[in-house]
Amino acid sequence: MKNVEYLSKEEMKSIQSERLVNQIKYVYENQKPYRDKMDEALIKPEDIKSIDDIRKLPFTTKHDLRENYPFGFFATSMDNIVRIHASSGTTGKLTTMGYTKRDLEDWTDAFKRSLSFAGVTNKDICHISYGYGLFTGGLGAHYGSEELGCAVVPCSTGNTQRQLQLLKDFGATVLLCTPSYALVLAEAIEKSEEYTIDDFKLRIGIFGAEPWSLGMKQQIEEKLHIKAYDIYGLSEISGPGVSMNCGGEYLHIQEDYFYPEIIDPETLENLPDGVEGELVFTTLRKEGVPLIRYRTRDLCKLYHGTCPICGRTLVRMDRVKARSDDMLIIRGVNVFPSQIENALTKIKELNGSHYLLVVERQGLLDSLEVKVELNPSYFSDTIKDIEKLKKKVEHEVTSAIGIAPKITLCAPGEVPLSDGKTKRTIDNRKI
């Protein structure tokens, strides 16, 4: 069979159409909440004849999943479910996902393919510091890497000193964790009296689960002497490995399993390639919890056509820089934490990836405070120098986001990153 990563548009469409028709029939017969939505929209499975008909179908939201907590969206009986994951998200109630044996095989295959984009092979030793548990990061990376034939070190999160020791002693060549934690590890090596970067054999990093800027990517690459890749996924659709970048900036989506669309979050109309909107996914082969037109809230752009970097034809998505619900509106201005991160990481006197945004409302006016760490190598004890640096940071952030924040410079270590997803904003406004 022809490699699915290099199919022509027509060949891919034919696979997607056949799978969508089956998926919709299956969902209509087995998933009551979505059947109700289809009945309400007066759509029958027979109306869906090809992938082009997908636009006729209603959307599914996180709210729908929460309303049906825990198992209302399961489309098969527990006899066929072999794993349950749940996503805590950064806010709100859990959403629960159930997987059949075939769902796990498909997800594993998607992750394995993603790894090969980065040139990972069965000769590699993969050190996994994504959390193992209800979060899909650890187990998703684990089975995908094993399937490729890598030697897997299932470290999970925490205990940074032990992680460093194992990374060194086992000679891991691939590190898989959140970008925040990659920086924690890199900075622990820098501070360590025991290790230098030359003690490690790392060559590739597979980082994801949270938005991170190109500035942060560059920092990680420089500090760890690796090439860093961006892996994307969400537990509702399976987990990590929905997409990953090749050598270029964009991420290839495993679109024979997960069909993407971009919509305008207000009008819900489909948007063309290159226009930013909300990413929507339809699973094409899921048995446990299939999801039709699931609104991810992630803001993104799509690009069809052959990849100029690697020649794959799998549709590409932009890096996810923010979620539509991550966006802060401060004094009427839309502000994305990643815009600020990009500005901060460009300033060499700062440890720009270590930042926290605090939003307050004083009277009628919103205020934004940016707390950011100084670079450990930056040293000055004159107030004049510190004030000058503050002004510079204020200027850079203001030109990035269009409003002036209060800048608080913190000592190294005062704004720690977590070993999972780091919370970047505290919004104290009661709106």
Instruction: Give residues in contact with ligand DLL (CB under 6 A).
Output: 87, 130, 135-137, 208-211, 230-235, 239-240, 296, 298, 320, 323
Q: How far is the CB of 348 from ligand DLL (least distance, A)?
A: 25
**Distance from CA of residue 414 to its chain's centroid?**
26
Q: How far is the CB of 260 from ligand DLL (least distance, A)?
A: 13
Q: Which is nearer to ligand DLL, 240 or 288 (CB)?
A: 240
Q: Which is nearer to ligand DLL, 21 or 209 (CB)?
A: 209
Q: Which is nearer to ligand DLL, 286 or 366 (CB)?
A: 286
Q: Which is nearer to ligand DLL, 31 or 136 (CB)?
A: 136
Q: How far is the CB of 280 from ligand DLL (least distance, A)?
A: 12
Q: Which is nearer to ligand DLL, 301 or 323 (CB)?
A: 323
Q: How far is the CB of 108 from ligand DLL (least distance, A)?
A: 14
Ramachandran region of residue 297, left (φ > 0), alpha (ψ -120 to 50) or beta?
Answer: left
Q: Which is nearer to ligand DLL, 66 or 168 (CB)?
A: 66
* C-beta nearest to ligand DLL: residue: 208
Q: How far is the CB of 251 from ligand DLL (least distance, A)?
A: 7
Q: How far is the CB of 231 from ligand DLL (least distance, A)?
A: 5
